[in-house]
Amino acid sequence: MLDSKLVIDGLGHFGPYGGRFVPEALIGALEELEAAHSSALLDPIFQAELAELHRTYSGRPSIITEAKRFAEHAGGARIILKREDLNHTGSHKINNVLGQALLTKRMGKSRIIAETGAGQHGVASATAAALMGLECVVYMGEEDTKRQSLNVARMKLLGAKVVPVTSGSRTLKDAINEAMRDWVTNVENTHYLLGTVAGPHPFPTMVRDFHKIIGEEARAQVIELTGKLPDAVLACVGGGSNAIGIFHDFIKDADVRLIGLEAGGDGVETGRHAATITGGTRGVLHGTRSYVLQDENGQTVESHSISAGLDYPGVGPEHAYLHDIGRAEYRAITDAQAMAAFALLCQTEGIIPAIETAHALAGAIQVGNELGPDATLLINLSGRGDKDVQTAANYFGIPL
Amino acid sequence: MSTNTALDQLFVKTRSENRAALIAYIPAGFPSQAGCHKVIETLAKAGVDAIEIGYPYSDPVMDGPTIQAAATQALENGTGATEVFAALKHACDQGVAAVVMTYWNPIEKYGAAKFAQAIADNGGSGVITPDLTIEESDEWRVAVKTSSINPIYVVAPSTKPERLAKVTDQCGGFIYAASLMGVTGARSGISSGAGELVARVRKVSDKPISVGLGVSNREQAKEVAAFADGVIVGSAFIKAIQDAPDEQSALAAVAHLASELAKGVREAR
């Protein structure tokens, strides 16, 4: 039904979304990156190197786990978890950073910069930089450095420099602004290792290409286990990288529902949320056209979520397009719903998920109850919750 | 471009006088709505030829700390499209050419055609769009043509020759040459890249070229005015206002800097 690449032209558009809204100074670097990515896709040596890293460093392929006790609370539907939480560094993020770090070397650059919210992408970037001998600077909102001090320490242990960002709202969106300012200034020797499927072309397609292995593996694993395709694939959506990663190989399977779960915060109706597709409007942010949380003058509105990794007022342009054409559905999950699902997975399966991921699990409870015991749901368990222990303990009133 | 805006006329005049134009940047709503209007009056009186009204934006990735802080203050002062157009009109009323400089999203949200027409209706000459690439500007191109205003795009030292021709071909009023790879803000010296970039642009276009980024004093203005048609100064004015203890001394500092810069652009050739 659809071109599986979903890029309508050579300029990185997904229907009306995507494209390149950046200072002219960055065009050269984006063209260079696009060329490096395109040639790497066709280069068997590059692909073999990446595959070897997946196998011997990240721990791919990640396994699938059937969550039978959790499923009792999800209408009795079969619940299958794709275990990206078992990857090295604890989430799907490693897939993208290894790919982009290899591209950095391919372009002859020696320095990477990255933005991070909760710290997962920052830790993954610092990890890849250490592995490949690259200088690494991570921009992190000052607020987030305080909330996630453990991850700041992890990045420093890995040899990265962490720069607290004090401008704007001092969170993820401002960390991206600061990373872009660094990039404009140091583009000669620096690659901006963007952590999600947003930003200017080629980032949305390139980051997707590095994550689509999640869906490719999971599709084969589910068929092997159940003998058929799942009825629905679910993933949490902030910028949307883990969701695109697991969705992509199923886009061609028209009968498989693709369901993205956004961060509903206190509830979309309260205005305190990060559900960009559910509660946002079309706009341009951080170099791409997509849905954006914005006011009547086009100023970005601050997002709110218990999950730092989903706390972003934009979303990848491919998701905006999949939404508009009706190929994927997006729902908002409140903080309370996510935390209930978080606790449930801990206590029924012995798996502590990331709070980001808990949004997808809350979606699985909803959809499982809607579809009943005949349905099979595949959920991307995008990250583990070690980093969230303090937040969760505070939330549930467990004294530390 | 078949426009005849105040900006087009300005460069005819300054070329006939064999000098560069002095262009000042001030965000709407900074330091306050009324304060901004007074700064505009002061700039015009002190010899500035054209004024860029900045549309303060929540995510200014092209701007250094000085303009970021000014934008934040302007947003806290409740600045939106209405205030931007009011400041634009006020500048035009002082008899100088005026344009708006804005990131793309406020235009997209307002509606491209409507925004371009509002610029024209308020006497503005054009719009500088630092994050709008020519590939994304189909709608904008139609809008500026319909409203007969100047679309001003930025070129950078990293812009390759073939692309330089394409981008400058789309420009009206002037071509905005970013003097260096980096964000806005005062620098101790003018980058050698500025002269090289202007020379490269001259090879592909005979439109006026204005240089921005890092010009903050008379000496630097003079240096740039030797090879460019316009000298753009932003952060230095904002810093002068930020550093002043009160409005009176802020306006005095703006007047002093503007008159110094006005001398600088006149003593270059």
The pLDDT of residue A4 is 42
Indicate the average pLDDT of chain A.
Answer: 95
Q: Give mean pLDDT, residues A208-229.
A: 98
- Alpha carbon distance B253, A60 (integer Å): 63
Question: Which residues in chain B show pLDDT less than 70?
Answer: 1
A274-303 per-position pLDDT tens digit: 999 999 999 999 999 999 999 999 999 999
Choose among B109, B135, B183: nearest Cβ to A185. B183
Q: Shortest Cα distance from A298 to chain B (angstroms)? A: 5
> B178–A173: do the CB atoms touch at under 8 Å?
no
Residue type at B101 in one-letter notation: M
Question: Is the distance from CB of B125 to CB of B98 less than 8 angstroms?
Answer: yes
Q: Is the pLDDT of residue A74 over 60?
A: yes
Longest CA pairwise span in chain B (Å): 49
B9 and chain A in contact, CB less than 8 A: no
Using CB atoms within 10 Å of the CB of residue B95, give its burial: 0 to 12 exposed, 13 to 18 middle, 19+ buried: exposed
pLDDT at A118 over 90: no
Residue A216 falls in the annotated catalytic set = no
pLDDT for residue A1: 38
Size (chain B), residues? 269
Q: What is the pLDDT of residues B138-177, one digit of tens each?
A: 999 999 999 999 999 999 999 999 999 999 999 999 999 9
Q: Which pLDDT score, from 0 to 100, does residue B71 have?
A: 96
Q: Are B114 and B83 in contact (CB under 8 A)?
A: no
Per the DSSP assignment, residues forming a β-bridge with A261 are A236, A331
CA angle A287, B236, B89 (to 5 degrees): 70
A308-336 tens-digit pLDDT: 899 999 999 999 999 999 999 999 999 99
- pLDDT tens-digit profile of A193-204? 999 999 999 999
- Amino acid B246: pLDDT: 96
pLDDT of residue A6: 54
3 state DSSP class of B79: coil
- pLDDT for A8 equals 61
Which residues on B lie below 8 Å from A30 (Cβ)? none
Contact residues, chain A, for B163 at CB < 8 Å: 27
**A202 prior amide bond cis, ω within 30:** yes
Distance, CA of B193 to CA of B184 (rounded, Å): 15
| Residue owning tokens 């996630």 | A148
A363 versus A149: the higher-pLDDT residue is A363
Q: Measured between alpha carbons, how far is A102 from A56 in angstroms, rounded to an integer? A: 15
Q: What is the pLDDT of residues A42-67, one digit of tens each?
A: 999 999 999 999 999 999 999 999 99
pLDDT tier for residue A171 given thresholds of 50, 70 and 90: confident
Which residues, other chains included, contact A382 with Cβ-Cβ below 8 Å and sequence gap of 6+? A84, A85, A91, A92, A235, A236, A242, A354, A356, A357, A360
Instruction: Give dist(CA A12, CA B77) in Å, integer.
Output: 37
Cis peptide before B31 (omega within 30 of 0): yes
Say if residue A147's pLDDT is above 80.
no
CA–CA gap between residue A378 and residue A364 (Å, rounded): 9
- Say yes or no: A271 contacts chain B, CB-CB below 8 A: no
| Residue located via tokens 């068997």 | A44
Nearest to B120 by CA among B169, B78, B172, B62: B172
Smallest CA–CA separation between B250 and chain A, in Å?
24
Q: Residue A127 in contact with residue A151, Cβ under 8 Å? A: no
- Per-residue pLDDT at B1: 53
Summarised one tens digit per residue, pLDDT across range A231-278 is 999 999 999 999 999 999 999 999 999 999 999 999 999 999 999 999
DSSP A231-288: SEEEEEESS-HHHHHHHGGGTT-TTSEEEEEEEEEEEGGGTEEE-HHHH-EEEEETTE
Q: Which of A115, A178, A217, A318 is catalytic?
A: A115
pLDDT at A203: 98
Closest CA to B54 of B99, B118, B121, B111: B99
For residue B191, give the DSSP letter. Answer: -
| A328-334/A111-116 β-pairing | unpaired
DSSP character at residue B126: E
Amino acid letter, B204 = V
Interface A:B, Cβ pairs < 8 A: 114
**Which neighbouring-strand residues pair with A289?**
A18, A284
C-alpha A351, offset from chain centre: 20
Q: CA nearest B115 in A: which residue?
A: A297
Share of chain A above pLDDT 90, in %: 92
Residue with tokens 């010899």: B47
Write down the number of H helices and E strands in chain B. Answer: 12, 9
Round to whole Å and give the CA distance between A297 and B9.
31
Q: Which of B105, B156, B181 sits opposite A285 (nearest CB)?
A: B105
Q: What ipTM was assigned to the predicted interfaces of this complex?
A: 0.95
Contacts 24+ apart (CB under 8 A), B32-37: B32/B77, B33/B77, B33/B79, B33/B83, B33/B86, B33/B87, B35/B247, B35/B250, B36/B74, B36/B87, B37/B86, B37/B87, B37/B90
Q: List % helix, strand, coil for chain A (3-state, nearest 5).
A: 50, 20, 30
